Structure 1
Amino acid sequence: MFSINNELKTKLTDLNGAIARKYSPILNNDFDMKTFLEENIGSIIKLEKLSDRELSKIKDKGGIVAVDGSTNRKGGSFPHYIELYQGLAKSTNQDVEDVYLTDIYTPILSEIKENPLQDEEETDEKNRRLAQIEVKTALQSVKKRAPYALVMDGGLIRYTIYAKELWKELVEYCLLNDVILFGTIKDIKTKIIGEELKSKYKDLKGPLYDREILFGLLQYKEMLTIYDELNKKEQSGFSSGFIRSSLSPNVVGIDIIEEQKNLLFDMAKLILTLTPENSRGVPLFLDIVDKEVKITDDLIEALLERYLDKDIYERLFVSERDKRNL
């Protein structure tokens, strides 16, 4: 059995109490959250899965292409590390070839003598490289063979921040070629509902995230749309919603470009159709792409050991922590 420090037990108990107090106003049985949502946030609608006939039409129109990216890092602190990036575009139509794009970055080859980046700036640089390779992968795939729809793994707003010009090119191409462009968000970080709650109930303090508020609230196959005037993403050209796409109490998010917002419900139904009922709520096809594109610790280590000289690899990219014998 684990030996648990009494002080740690006390701190965890206190933490539990503090969290319970924070959420008590919205977890109160007397508070009808669904009514609040429909009066202040958006509409709750019931979705139906697409029929086999509808799915067959989608296949005939080019199928669905899903895009995801992955990155991993090996080494220690600046500049002794190397980052690998990989993007994958995969079609539901088996006759369409997968598109892989890769990128590598290490400060070792940079002319910068000292690390000018703080942690936040380093994160921005990583996000920029990942977003760009994802959009480049998407562009190459749709230009090879335009699909019915292109789904990005994650929210779309990050592409307008970290890959602005490439994103504009992708949007323009999709619009010209009638490709529906949307994103499916597994890890929801927005606070739209929480901010509206706090504006009306002054006793609520601190950040309240949509993910935690919607946990177990929507019924299976229900979708909550977001009024444009509340949706900060609308300013960047997107319409959004939340879907409970499985029996799991979690919801997933959906973004679609503003020019195609009339197709938001259709894409929500597509997400629902592609998601196994007893899963965690993520379309199975996206999980497949996520698994195939992932650069694991074992993979990056094997690649560096195989393609870098042993002296270069150990001198530059093996940290002291990696050398420890446990």
Structure 2
Amino acid sequence: MEFEALKQKLNILNEKLKNEYEFFKNNKIDEILDKVSRRFVFKRLSADEISNIATDGIIGVDGSINNYGGIYPHYISIVQALAKSTLNESKLIQDVYAPLFEEEDGQLQDEQRRRARMSKLELDAAMHAIENFKSNIILMDGSLMHYGIDCPLEWQKLKDAALRNNKIIIGVTEEVKTKDIGNIIKEEIKYSNVVYDREVLFGILQEGEALELNEKVKTEKKQKGIRTIFARLSSDPQVIGLDFLEEQFDEGFKLCNLLYTLTPREGRGIPLWLDLVDREVKVTDEMVKTLIESTIDRGIRERIFNPKRSKR
């Protein structure tokens, strides 16, 4: 098989991307950021300092979903969420989602239902942790914003419980998808393309450095009562997002040195405990296949869920 035509197209794309990067580099992004944000520098804590701050451990909350079958609506999803503390307290919640028994309103709505199902399980696990675990520090995988979108009632109940019990919730976003800083940059340099915050901030922050947009900058998250810090917690030049409830920001911000300390220098910038919870809760292909094939009749699997491509 020949690939020369594809290589030529990819080379053209590569040059275009390089030109885009140089364009940003030459427009003094740092100077623009200084006008609209404030920066912080975190420090790594000693073992004694960690013990004093995290006396009752740290809780990580994460969820996972994986499918068996073909395309919508002929598949089954296995969903699970885990809340686990460093003191070995844990709560695993599991569910099954089958779109054949949901309203037939298209793939977009189906995807929203799937996401909401996992969000609800994560919120249920986090609520259990608030009510039953000792720790006052709860790290949730992903932005806090999406919980209010996916499950507004459950999210409000969790917020109320966290504030009532003085449990600090921090959302840790691995893939920053916001465009708040990007839109500011576009306006300043008269740029027409879509710009995401992760692109702007790549390599801008030093290890252990963080940035927050100042009070004058209005964002959707701020309107929803969520404050965000962009931080680089490892040698990886890509930033992560740290979300805090507005009411808890001052207390939550005090924990940033701890999060920095618990993040491996050569890692991908995520606190290690949250990574460990992610690995434990993961719904693997093998797990899905074993569960489905040991419980769903073969005739049903062949009739409804097994696509022809799986028989190649």
What TM-score, normalized to structure 1?
Answer: 0.90
Corresponding residue to 2:42 among 47, 50, 66:
47
Residue 43 of structure 1 aligns to a residue whose secondary structure is: strand
Aligned to 2:308: 320
Aligned to 1:19: 17
Shift of 1:146: 4.2
Counterpart-to-counterpart distance in 1, 2:265 and 2:286 = 32
Does residue 198 of structure 2 align to residue 211 of structure 1? yes
Note if contact 1:225-1:241 (Cα within 8 Å) is conserved in structure 2.
yes
Note if contact 1:100-1:137 (Cα within 8 Å) is conserved in structure 2.
yes
Note if contact 2:207-2:232 (Cα within 8 Å) is conserved in structure 1.
yes
Greater CA drift, 273-282 or 4-13:
4-13
Corresponding residue to 1:84 among 72, 78, 84:
78
Aligned to 1:286: 274
Q: Alpha-carbon deviations, 1:100-159, whole Å to 9, x = none?
A: 00110113344x5xx322x32222111111111110111112211242211110000000
Aligned to 1:227: 214
Greater CA drift, 179-188 or 262-271:
262-271
Aligned to 1:56: 51
Shift of 1:71: 0.4
5+ residue gaps in structure 2?
A: none
Note if contact 2:99-2:110 (Cα within 8 Å) is conserved in structure 1.
no
Cα 1:199–1:145, aligned 2, differ >3 Å: closer, same or farther? same
Note if contact 1:194-1:209 (Cα within 8 Å) is conserved in structure 2.
yes
Aligned to 2:166: 178
Shift of 1:82: 0.6
Aligned to 1:131: 119
Structure 1 segment 184-199 matched on structure 2, within 5 A: 184-199=172-187
Aligned residues: 311
5+ residue gaps in structure 1?
A: none
Counterpart-to-counterpart distance in 2, 1:272 and 1:4 = 48
Note if contact 2:97-2:114 (Cα within 8 Å) is conserved in structure 1.
no
Q: Alpha-carbon deviations, 1:182-213, whole Å to 9, x = none?
A: 111101111121100111111x1211111122
Cα 1:279–1:77, aligned 2, differ >3 Å: closer, same or farther? closer
Greater CA drift, 139-148 or 67-76:
139-148
Does residue 32 of structure 2 align to residue 36 of structure 1? yes
Counterpart-to-counterpart distance in 2, 1:12 and 1:88 = 41
Cα 1:264–1:206, aligned 2, differ >3 Å: closer, same or farther? farther
Cα 1:149–1:17, aligned 2, differ >3 Å: closer, same or farther? same
Residue 131 of structure 2 aligns to a residue whose secondary structure is: helix
Shift of 1:33: 2.4
**Which stretches of structure 1, 4 residues or more, deviate above 6 A after TM superposition?**
none
Letter in 2 for 1:134: E
Note if contact 1:226-1:239 (Cα within 8 Å) is conserved in structure 2.
no
Shift of 1:6: 2.2
Corresponding residue to 1:152 among 140, 149, 152:
140
Corresponding residue to 2:68 among 49, 53, 74:
74
Note if contact 1:146-1:177 (Cα within 8 Å) is conserved in structure 2.
no
Pairwise CA RMSD of aligned residues?
Answer: 1.6
Aligned to 1:248: 236
The percentage of aligned residue pairs carrying the same residue is 36
Counterpart-to-counterpart distance in 1, 2:228 and 2:209 = 14
Aligned to 2:152: 164
Aligned to 2:289: 301
Shift of 1:66: 0.6
Aligned to 1:107: 99
Note if contact 2:174-2:270 (Cα within 8 Å) is conserved in structure 1.
yes
Cα 1:281–1:78, aligned 2, differ >3 Å: closer, same or farther? closer
Residue 182 of structure 1 aligns to a residue whose secondary structure is: strand
